Amino acid sequence: MIEVTRLSKRYGDVVAVDDLTFDVKPGAVTGFLGPNGAGKTTTMRMILGLDAPHAGQARVLGARLADLPEPMRAVGALLDAGAVHPRRSARDHLRCLAVSNRLEPRRVDEVLDLVGLTAAAHRHAGGFSLGMKQRLGLAAALLGDPGVLILDEPVNGLDPEGIVWIRTLIRGLAAEGRTVLVSSHLMAETAVTADRLIVVARGRLIADTTVEAVARPDGVLVRTPEARRFAQVLVTHGASGVEPAGDELVVRGLAVRRIGELAAAEGVVLHELTPRRASLEEAFMELTR
């Protein structure tokens, strides 16, 4: 579990994080969202003890990270995929981390296989693409088999196949009971990866909620070859915002069941009747406006 309590950080006159409080619980993927400059990376760095807060505290598994006896076994982090010596091979980079943290050497090959870098294990990291560096950074985060994962924009540089792979991996790790905090600027990906959301803007907490609660209902999509006539029927029965666009209507103010009943009563052929939800991107823009 991660506990952030009244955390604040300033850089001169700039307040990067402002009295921020939230928890990240095990067994779920928590998405950490906010515009550029919202304080996400600064918050993650303070959780990891890389930056000192001006006020408040951040605890992982009930303690400051610096006070944990074997931090890599407790917390795995990916903040900067480029934080690796360019002349060092992927395997040697992980071996150095394993030796310096008293981890089993066999774990190096396990995580290389897990992230799909076995074939590139002897190549210099300086020649890696951004996507391969992300995979290496994730391997380093998983090296200690930690119960807590903190990942800052882990899908940067990944192709569509890589994005699906990391989504599956992250959700699988959370399903094992781990605590997973993931920042991202890809709203569509966060919507299908995260269970909970922490949304910040200007260093302040805007929302601590679920994806389901944020992506609220947004009318009903109706497709019918009689869109114009059916729109008039729906308005007569209390619908709002009904503007035909070809054979499509977006209906607000009436439930799906009621729309179906009216279509049956009027003899209107329906090709589609689907509840709509606001996209996470739309909800995010509204929250942070």
DSSP per-residue string spanning 1-22: -EEEEEEEEEETTEEEEEEEEE
Neighbours of 266 (CB within 10 A): 13
CA distance linking residue 129 with residue 118, whole number of Å: 15
The torsion angles phi and psi of 149, rounded to 5 degrees, stand at -125, 130
pLDDT given at position 241: 74
Token pair for 261: 């009943």
| Residues 123 and 89: beta-carbon distance below 8 Å | yes
What are the residues whose beta carbons fall under 8 Å from the beta carbon of 54, sequence distance 6 or more? 8, 9, 10
Asked if domains 2-213 and 217-288 share a fold, the reply is no
* DSSP strand pairing (196-201 vs 55-60): unpaired
Residuewise pLDDT in 10s, the chain (289 residues): 999 999 999 999 999 999 999 999 999 999 999 888 889 999 999 999 999 999 999 999 999 998 999 999 999 999 998 889 999 999 999 999 999 999 999 999 999 999 999 999 999 999 999 999 999 999 999 999 999 999 999 988 888 888 999 999 999 999 999 999 999 877 778 888 999 999 998 899 988 988 777 766 678 899 999 999 999 999 999 998 788 888 999 898 898 999 999 999 999 999 999 987 766 777 777 766 7
pLDDT given at position 278: 66
CA distance linking residue 264 with residue 270, whole number of Å: 9
- Domain boundaries, given as residue ranges, for the chain: 2-213, 217-288
DSSP 78-116: ES-TT-S-TTSBHHHHHHHHHHHTT--THHHHHHHHHTT
Token pair for 246: 């070809």
277: nearest Cα among 204, 211, 195, 223: 211
Neighbours of 215 (CB within 10 A): 19
Neighbours of 86 (CB within 10 A): 10
The domain 2-213 belongs to what CATH superfamily? P-loop containing nucleotide triphosphate hydrolases (3.40.50.300)
* DSSP strand pairing (272-277 vs 217-223): antiparallel
* DSSP strand pairing (179-183 vs 148-152): parallel
Token pair for 83: 């934080």
Using a CB cutoff of 8 Å and minimum separation of 24, what contacts does 104-110 make? 107/143, 107/144, 107/145, 108/143
Residue 38 DSSP code: S
With the CA atoms of 114, 115, 121 and 124 taken in that order, what torsion angle do they form, in degrees rounded to the nearest 10? -160
| Residues 175 and 28: beta-carbon distance below 8 Å | no
| Residues 142 and 72: beta-carbon distance below 8 Å | no
pLDDT given at position 189: 82
Beta bridge partner(s), residue 278 = none
At residue 159, the 3 state secondary structure works out as coil
At residue 275, the 3 state secondary structure works out as strand
CA distance linking residue 212 with residue 67, whole number of Å: 36
Residues 217-288, CATH architecture: 2-Layer Sandwich (3.30)
Token pair for 111: 């995580």
